[in-house]
Amino acid sequence: MVDYRIDRRSGVATYVQIVQQTKQAIRLGLLVPGDRLPTAREVVEATAVNPNTVLKAYRELEREGLVEARRGLGTFVRRSLGAAPADSPLRAELEDWAARARESGLEREDVAALFTAVLETHYPEQAAHAAPAHTPQGDPS
């Protein structure tokens, strides 16, 4: 199950936060194919965000082929994401690297900056999001 945390001061649109957190959960193996996402009602009761925002996020995930809505049953994860589940060798390597970075006296911010810089080099333009365009509202169910 995924527990969404909405950060009001992040400047990131709420529906984008839900999309990102769902992907993160899939990436980390917290959600695997066949798992049901919380219903819109469950999400909004916990986060107090607008139901249409949650539906918009779910539609975005559906558009990307990550989840599918089954009428009357809920929204289910269709596939996993990336090749780095929580216990993969890549993660072990990263853990190893992080430990060495710390030993060599790097601060948390230094590590983050370094990581982001490398990420930018290898994955350009990944973080950009289209401006929120209005999509017709569906039937909230």
Partner 1 sequence: MTTALATPAAPARATGVPRQWRWLARLHRPALICGGALALLTAAALLWLGGPLTDASAAAWKAYNACAWDEVCRYDQDAIILYKEVYTWTTAAVLAVPFLVAAWAGGALVGRETESGTARLAWTQGVSPTRWLASRLTLPALLVVVGSGLPAALHRWAWTAADGRVDTAKSWHSSATFLAGGTVPVGLALAGLAAGALAGLLLSRAMAALATAAVAVGVLWAGAHAALPYLWPSVTRVSGLRDGPLGSGMHVGEGVLTADGGRAAAPCFTSRLPDCREELADLGATAFYRDFHPASHYWPLQLVTTGILLAVAGLLTYAAFQVLRRTTGTARG
Partner 2 sequence: MTVPALEADALGKRFGRRAWALRDCSFRLPAGRVCAVVGPNGAGKSTLLALAAGLLAPTEGTVRVLGARPAAARPRVGYVDQDKPLYQQLTVAETLRMGADLNPGRWDADTARRVVAGGDLDPDRRIRVLSGGQRTRVALALALGKRPELLLLDEPMADLDPLARHELMGLLMGEAAAHGTTVVMSSHVVAELEDSCDHLLLVGGGQVRLSGEIDDLLAAHTRVTAPATADLSPHQVVESRTTGRQLGAVIRPSGPLPADWRTGTPTLEDLVLSYLRNPAAPALPPAPETLEAAV
The site for partner 2 (CB under 8 A) is made up of 6, 8, 14, 39-42, 44-54, 131-134, 136-140
Q: Which is nearer to partner 2, 17 or 22 (CB)?
A: 17
Q: How far is the CB of 48 from partner 2 (least distance, A)?
A: 4
Backbone angles phi, psi at 77, to 5 degrees: -70, 130
86 binds, among partner 1, partner 2, none (CB under 5 to 8 A by kind): none
82 binds, among partner 1, partner 2, none (CB under 5 to 8 A by kind): none
User: DSSP secondary-structure letter at 127?
Assistant: S
Q: Which is nearer to partner 2, 22 or 81 (CB)?
A: 22
Backbone angles phi, psi at 123, to 5 degrees: -125, 70
Residue ranges binding partner 1 (CB under 8 A): 41, 72, 139-141
Q: Which amino acid is at 22?
A: T
26: left (phi over 0), alpha (psi -120 to 50) or beta: alpha
Q: What is the largest CA-CA distance in the chain?
A: 55
Distance CA 108, CA 83 (A): 26
User: DSSP secondary-structure letter at 44?
Assistant: H
Q: How far is the CB of 44 from partner 2 (least distance, A)?
A: 4
Q: How far is the CB of 46 from partner 2 (least distance, A)?
A: 6
